[in-house]
Structure 1
Amino acid sequence: MTNTTTATAQAALSTIPPDIRCAQDYERLAQQFMVLPHYEYVAGGCGRDITVAANLNAFALWAIYPRLLRDVTAGHTRLTLGQQAFPHPVFMAPVAFQQLAHPAGEIDTARAAQAMRSCMVSSTLSSVRMEDVAAVASNGGSPRWFQLYFQPQQNDTLDLINRAVNTGYSVIVVTLDASIQAASLRAQRAGFRMPQDCVAANLRDHTAPANITLSPGESRVFQGIMRDAPTWKDLEWLMTQTSLPVWVKGVLHPDDARALQNMGVAGIIVSNHGGRSLDGAPASLDALPAIRAAVGTSFPLLLDSGIRSGSDIFKALALGADAVLIGRLQMYALSVAGALGVAHMIKLLCEELEICMSLAGCATLKEINRGALVRCGTSATSTDFPPHDNSHE
């Protein structure tokens, strides 16, 4: 079995497997549908996967209060962010190189997002051109955002922005926490190598990265890899180059969140890159309440990293998020059943969230707040963090 994008342990199915009972079941089945090195790369983060584990454990530390005699028959999961309305708070995260999971890659994810009216955030490092992703998403009017990585050459960054605008993307999401990325030890031990036919399609016509030349005594990291890392000046420049709303992804510290808000960004994604950036960073969920407190009750916040269920989504909303982005589950479902699998995974998450809301007595997202949760092992409802408005309406 070779390490190519088309080699899979088992061909993706054209129907939903009968033993899928919840969204997280796709994680279990994905191991049968992806070659081992690909699976280990997707499942792993970086280093020893300390932050990957922390993301999952953070959700387990919270319990949800069931509430009695609440009428939720007029319930819904609609929300508005900026000027955009969404039917539910389940977005598709910008996952790179999706052909590692399925030959159709991002095309099938876009089809699923369109069918489920989920916002898809398309990655700079997509294995399919942004124009091709947009062509699929535009058929049903599904909202689409473009995730941007700053390029070493400013003209190349500007090219990506202009292409996103011209293709109908409505938001630019710039990721700022991944200047250095390395495969996890588990992926390295599985022998993962990026297949030659899995490339960043959006960057094919861009300037090839220059070889790093170091002077004696210079660091390969500080003076080498970090030479092209973006700074605050780069973000200021970016915001002058487009009229689209600019969101920032990769925020964990409240001081950074406050500075970004003051700069005028449209929203923030609280994220540790799924544990793929700094191994040992706090769980995104753990960082969320302090960031919500820093930016106030109505500033748009999204969260990713570690979500596996509708109850996880509920907990994220209760602690300050307005919506969430799904990363690894997206890849797992894609590997099992292509577009159908991703659409089914979104449907399951939405239904799991609705069940959780109903039993917790919350008819709308706006009613989900910190008072709905209790820290495991305690009996009192904390009021450490202010309520927030999830509706933005």
Structure 2
Amino acid sequence: MGAGLSRLSTIYRQGALGRRPAVPADFAELERRAERASSAKAWAYVAGGAGEGRTMRRNRAAFERWAIMPRMLSGHVERDLSVELPGGRHDTPVLLAPVGAGALMGADSDLKIARAAAATGTAYVFSNQGCNPMEDCATAMGDVSRWFQLYWSKDEQLVDSLIARAEAAGAAALVVTLDTTVLGWRPQDLNLGSLPFSRGQGIAQYTSDPRFREIVAGRPPQPAAEVTLGAIRTLLAMTRNHPGGFWSNLRSPAPRAAVETFLDIYSNPGLSWEHLATLRGRTRLPIVLKGILHPDDARRAFDAGVDAIVVSNHGGRQIDNAVASLDALVTIRAALGPSPALLLDSGVRTGADVFTALALGANAVLLGRPYMYGLAIAGQSGVEDVIRNVIAELELTMALAGVPDIASINRDCLVEA
């Protein structure tokens, strides 16, 4: 039995016993329930976007412009969802995107996501801004594929340290995020004055890193912060999120120094093609560049020898009124031809969306907000449910469209709506 029919059977059999799914099967209700389960600050960070939210809306509108054209009487009983990507073969064309500061949606967020990924056989791109060290997440995943997202720090030794740790943790690819050399204008967070990193959330890859700790130790003492109720709450949050015991952390300047060091060096605003040219000599891993939208940048990336790119506008979180990732995918695939490995990120919500992205030239997709919403609702099992629902809908869509495998999903499967 395929993933789709198996998922339907599980849900309907439970329904016959009077049990409804904890995690909704449609995205609109998933989003509504996740918002109810989240704090205002968590929801602003995870669900919010840049500026007026036009890029987020455009990501969804791009999918609406295409319609799937089913074909009948294919005679196919089984479907093969596996794909070959840099670093190995994957059971499905869906990977979990890196999402920073996930603990906003639940404690030990990255560990829960890693366990859910392992339980469903889904590759997970560890976030450089995660809330659990990559080594712990790698242990939780066992033999299931994991990639590592790299934010290029101002400190080159820290870049090397993170890459070395990713290799040691069994990462199958290195994903360099290009589009966050500075933070975008995010009104939902700004209106709350909320940045999770300033409270020590999302910096576990750094506080667990020997080079980062060396930088922190060499940092000169900082002037005392203004004492307000908010400052005390922030200090307590830093203390809780820093490695070690709460009371010893509370008496130490280390938590605050770690946060301030992170904010100073986590990303390099001067990142350039010259920096990227050094990567081949610094890692044995396949190199994936995330955040490319222009065909000229895509062409230059592959000319430089990278193994894949992720066509992404960061989920609409960096630039307001930017081009939709799906539209950029169409343009890039047309410009570069069928060979280069292109992944799509931003705007993917359902299995039918995955099908559409594959038909328009993606080799695989990265799923972001939906699984974070599952985490908010039901923790690890919520993430598992979202993954299984998306894969099930993809497999059922393939069955009903008459497609036997991922390679058969192409532009002929779509019409302009």
Provide the rounded CA distance (Å) in 1 between the counterparts of 2:280 and 2:53.
34
In 1, Cα distance between the equivalents of 2:120 and 2:28?
Answer: 18
Structure 2 distance, partners of 1:103, 1:226, is: 25
Q: Which of 297, 310, 325 in structure 1 is aligned with 2:338? A: 297
Equivalent of residue 403 in structure 2, options 353, 362, 372: 362
**Offset, 1:197:** 4.4
Matched, 1:198 2:239: no
Shift of the alpha carbon at 1:45? 1.4
* Matched AA of 2:109: G
Indicate whether 1:108 and 2:149 are aligned. Answer: no
Aligned residue in 1 for 2:376: 335
| Alpha-carbon offset, residue 210 of structure 1 | 8.8
- 330-339 or 76-85, larger mean C-alpha shift: 76-85
The SS at the match of 2:288 is strand
Aligned position for 1:149: 151
Counterpart of 1:246 in structure 2 is: 287
Range 254-263 or range 196-205, more displaced: 196-205
Q: 2:54 aligns with which of 50, 68, 71?
A: 50
Query: Do structure 1's residue 40 and structure 2's residue 81 form an aligned pair?
Result: no
Figure out how many residues of one structure are paired with residues of the other and give that number.
348
Shift of 1:74: 2.8
Shift of 1:262: 0.8
Do the aligned residues in 2 keep the contact of 1:55 with 1:283 (CA within 8 Å)?
Answer: yes
Aligned equivalent of 2:74: 70
Percentage of pairs with the same residue: 39
Matched position secondary structure for 1:344: helix
| Offset, 1:20 | 1.8
Aligned match of 1:179 in 175, 178, 181? Answer: 181
| Mapping for residues 72-221 of structure 1, pairs under 5 Å | 72-138=76-142, 141-182=143-184, 184-194=186-196, 196-204=199-207, 205=209, 206=212, 207=215
Shift of 1:143: 0.1
Counterpart CA distance in 2 for 1:82 and 1:191 is 40
**Counterpart residue type for residue 411 of structure 2:** R
Instruction: Say whether 1:256 aligns with 2:297.
Output: yes
- Structure 2 counterpart of 1:26: 30
Name the TM-score, length of structure 2 as normaliser. 0.79
Which residue of 1 is the match for residue 311 of structure 2?
270
CA separation of 1:193/1:259 partners in 2, compared to 1, >3 Å: closer, same or farther? closer
Instruction: Give distance in 2, aligned partners of 1:306 and 1:369.
Output: 19
Shift of 1:183: 5.2
Structure 2 equivalent of residue 5 of structure 1: none
Q: What code does the residue aligned with 2:199 have?
A: Q
Q: Report the CA distance shift for 1:94/1:355 in structure 2 as closer, same or farther (over 3 A).
A: same
What's the CA shift for 1:176? 0.7
- The answer to whether 1:351 aligns with 2:392 is yes
Pair 96,19 (structure 1): closer, same or farther in 2 beyond 3 Å: closer
Alignment deviations for residues 100-145 of structure 1 (CA, whole Å, 9 cap, x no partner): 111121000000000111110001111111111111012xx11000
1:130-184 Cα shifts (integer Å, max 9, x gaps): 111111012xx11000000100010010110011111111110001111121352
Quote the Cα distance in structure 1 between the aligned partners of 2:190 and 2:407: 44
| Aligned counterparts of 2:84 and 2:55: Cα–Cα separation in 1 | 31
- The structure number with the bigger radius of gyration is 2
Measured in 2, the distance between the counterparts of 1:153 and 1:162 equals 15
- Offset, 1:188: 2.6
Partner Cα distance (1:310, 1:275) in 2: 20
Q: Distance in 1 between matches of 2:396 and 2:327?
A: 24
Partners of 2:25 and 2:266 in 1: CA distance: 44
Q: SS at 1:109's partner residue?
A: helix
Alpha carbons 1:23, 1:349 under 8 Å: kept? no
Q: TM-score, normalised by structure 1?
A: 0.84
Residue pair 2:87, 2:173 contacting (<8 A) in 1 also: no
- Residue 153 of structure 2 contacts residue 268 of structure 2 at CA under 8 Å; is this kept in 1? no
8 Å Cα contact 2:22/2:382 also seen in 1: no
The DSSP-based 3-state class of the residue aligned with 1:313 is helix
CA distance in 2, matches of 1:82, 1:24: 33
Q: 1:5-44 CA deviation, whole Å, 9 max, x = no partner?
A: xxxxxxxxxx984472335532221012111221122111
Cα distance between partner residues in 2 of 1:371 and 1:341: 35
Amino acid at match of 1:58: A
The structure in which a higher percent of residues are helix is 2
Root-mean-square deviation (Å)? 2.2
Q: Give CA deviations for 1:266-294 in whole Å, capped at 9, x if unaligned.
A: 11100001111121210100100111122
Pairwise CA distance, 1:227: 6.7
Measure the CA separation in 2 of the matches of 1:61 and 1:305.
16
* Structure 2 match to 1:379: none
Retained in 2: the 8 A contact 1:249–1:268? yes
Q: Which residue matches 1:313?
A: 354
Structure 1 residue 372 corresponds to structure 2 residue 374: no
**Which deviates further from its counterpart, 339-348 or 17-26?**
17-26
**Residues 160 and 225 (structure 1), Cα distance of their counterparts in 2 relative to 1, 3 Å cut:** closer
The gaps in structure 1 that reach 5 residues or longer are 1-14, 212-223, 377-393
1:30-63 CA-partner distances (Å, limit 9, x unpaired) = 0121112211221111111111111111111111
Q: Which amino acid aligns with 1:22?
A: D
Q: 1:183 to 1:81 in 2, by over 3 A?
A: same
Deviation string 1:180-205 (CA, Å, 9 cap, x unpaired) is: 21352133334534262424111125
* 8 A Cα contact 1:24 1:308, kept in partner: no
Q: 1:136 to 1:67 in 2, by over 3 A?
A: same
